[in-house]
């Protein structure tokens, strides 16, 4: 069976890749993983490979802590060399990071078909590097695996209709498995002396919030206000930790902790009263756990969560009426993606 070359680099991609890699192996296909090193801290990287049983990367590129251009350029160079050595039949990328677009560009320039998991998402804010990464990746991909019908429509509006598949959301697959595993392994609520449903969870990491000191101050002030009614636990991204240290800000009412593994995070969200985040992945994970979310951004690519009343932007005073979101599938998106990949490789 021809080989699949998978590019990973950041926490959200590890989470998405776990069930897909498992499904690829179960379908009898061969996968080689390249880890760009975009997230390099053990608590942002290694722990996810261990907890989610992701195959060990064949390539560790160790590219991080650079500007967007330098980081993407170095990834492109090293991924191209790895692809030339491996000669894969397909390159698989996830999400919207610099690792995603570098993998997609390297493959497309080598005329290797690109498959994009989580294709078609749009915030329609071109100031976000993630949005640029999404658009470029989708337009060079041969296979586009969409988590929602909205994503399918977004691609159609951009003239992309070939190779588009509505698969459901692979993060739902991961969440289902993680909740069961976390019950037997995670002790984070006891460690932090938390009472279920008596605390909220927050994360801040996106450049739109951390690169603008005035906006970052507004986000912190908003969280401090929210913490007056419910204590907030915030795993702190390295970029955010550095910013807090430089500014001397000590957010009132927030318990700041180091980044945590996926099982601990799943347990923390599952028992929380609310989630406050600028992360696209956590917006969905909150819904999967049945927890309301407030998105600390001015728009979201996960419009279904807002329309279904599980999520709202921080600039909006209240939620829409609440309902289920059938688009995300039945927890078997990864199996469908693996079967579509196998069919394409056998064609």
> Could you give the domains of the chain?
3-169+329-346 (3.40.50.2000), 178-327 (3.40.50.2000)
pLDDT digits (tens, 9 = 90+) for 210-231: 888 899 899 999 999 999 999 9
Backbone angles phi, psi at 321, to 5 degrees: -55, 140
Judge whether residue 116 has pLDDT over 80: yes
Q: What is the mean pLDDT of the chain?
A: 92
Confidence class for position 248, pLDDT limits 50, 70, 90: confident
Q: What per-residue confidence (pLDDT) applies to 41? A: 59
292 touches 311 (CB < 8 A): yes
Closest CA to 90 of 54, 49, 51, 141: 141
Confidence category of residue 261, pLDDT binned at 50, 70, 90: confident
Predicted pLDDT of residue 220: 92
Q: And the tokens for 210?
A: 């951390």
Q: Is the pLDDT of residue 42 over 60?
A: no
pLDDT higher than threshold 90 for residue 38: no
Whether residue 247 has pLDDT greater than 80? no
Tell me whether strands 90-94 and 59-60 are parallel, antiparallel or unpaired.
Answer: unpaired
CB 47 within 8 A of CB 133: no
Per-residue confidence band for 64, with pLDDT thresholds at 50, 70 and 90: confident
Q: Please tell me the predicted confidence (pLDDT) of residue 1.
A: 62
- 205 given a catalytic annotation: yes
Q: How far is CA 55 from CA 18, 45, 49, 59, 64, in A?
A: 9, 13, 7, 12, 21
Residue 208 in contact with residue 279, Cβ under 8 Å?
A: no
Confidence of residue 68 (pLDDT cuts 50, 70, 90): confident
Task: Provide the percentage of residues in the chain whose pLDDT is more than 90.
Answer: 75
Task: List the beta strands (DSSP E) in 50-209.
Answer: 59-60, 90-94, 114-117, 143-146, 164-166, 200-203
Question: What is the pLDDT confidence band of residue 39, given thresholds at 50, 70 and 90?
Answer: low
* Sheet of strand 59-60: strand arrangement: 59-60, 30-35, 3-8, 90-94, 114-117, 143-146, 164-166
Section 94-101 average pLDDT: 95
- The conformational region for residue 53 under phi > 0 = left, psi -120 to 50 = alpha, else beta, is left
* Token code pair at residue 180: 């069961």
| Residue 165 neighbours by CB distance under 10 Å | 15
> Model confidence over 187-216: pLDDT tens digits?
999 999 999 999 999 999 888 888 888 998
Model pLDDT, residue 137: 98
Tokens of 317: 């005073």
pLDDT score recorded for residue 103: 98
Two tokens at 252? 């009132």
**Of 39, 116, 205, 237, catalytic:** 205
What's the average model confidence in pLDDT over 22-27? 96
- Please state the separation of Cα 266 from the chain's center in Å: 14
Stretch 38-56: mean pLDDT: 72
């Amino acid at each position: 069976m021809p080989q699949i070359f998978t590019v990973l680099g950041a926490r959200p991609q590890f989470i998405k890749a776990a069930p897909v890699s498992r499904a690829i192996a179960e379908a009898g296909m061969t996968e080689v993983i390249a880890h760009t090193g975009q997230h390099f801290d053990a608590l942002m990287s290694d722990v996810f490979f261990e907890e989610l049983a992701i195959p060990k990367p064949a390539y560790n590129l160790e590219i991080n802590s650079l500007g967007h251009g330098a980081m993407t350029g170095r990834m492109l160079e090293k991924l191209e060399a790895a692809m030339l050595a491996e000669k894969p039949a397909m390159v698989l990328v996830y999400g919207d990071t610099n690792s995603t677009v570098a993998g997609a560009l390297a493959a497309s320039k080598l005329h290797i078909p690109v498959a994009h998991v989580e294709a078609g998402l749009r915030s329609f804010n071109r100031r976000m590097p993630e949005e640029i990464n999404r658009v470029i990746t989708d337009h060079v991909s041969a296979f586009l695996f969409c988590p929602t019908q909205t994503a399918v429509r977004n691609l159609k509006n951009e003239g992309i209709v070939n190779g588009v598949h509505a698969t459901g959301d692979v993060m739902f697959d991961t969440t289902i498995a993680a909740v069961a595993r976390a019950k037997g392994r995670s002790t984070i609520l006891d460690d932090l002396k938390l009472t279920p449903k008596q605390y909220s969870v927050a994360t801040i990491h996106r450049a739109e919030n951390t690169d603008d000191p005035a906006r970052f101050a507004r986000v912190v002030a908003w969280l401090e206000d929210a913490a007056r009614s419910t204590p907030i636990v915030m795993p702190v991204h390295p970029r955010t930790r550095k910013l807090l240290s430089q500014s001397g800000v000590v957010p009132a009412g927030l318990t700041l902790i180091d980044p945590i593994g996926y099982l601990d995070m799943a347990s923390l969200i599952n028992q929380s009263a609310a989630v406050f985040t600028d992360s696209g992945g956590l917006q969905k994970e909150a819904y999967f756990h049945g927890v309301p979310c407030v998105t600390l951004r001015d728009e979201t690519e996960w419009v279904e969560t807002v329309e279904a009343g599980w999520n709202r932007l921080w600039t909006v005073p209240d939620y829409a009426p609440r309902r289920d979101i059938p688009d995300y599938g039945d927890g078997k998106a990864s199996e469908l993606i693996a079967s579509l990949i196998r069919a394409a490789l056998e064609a």
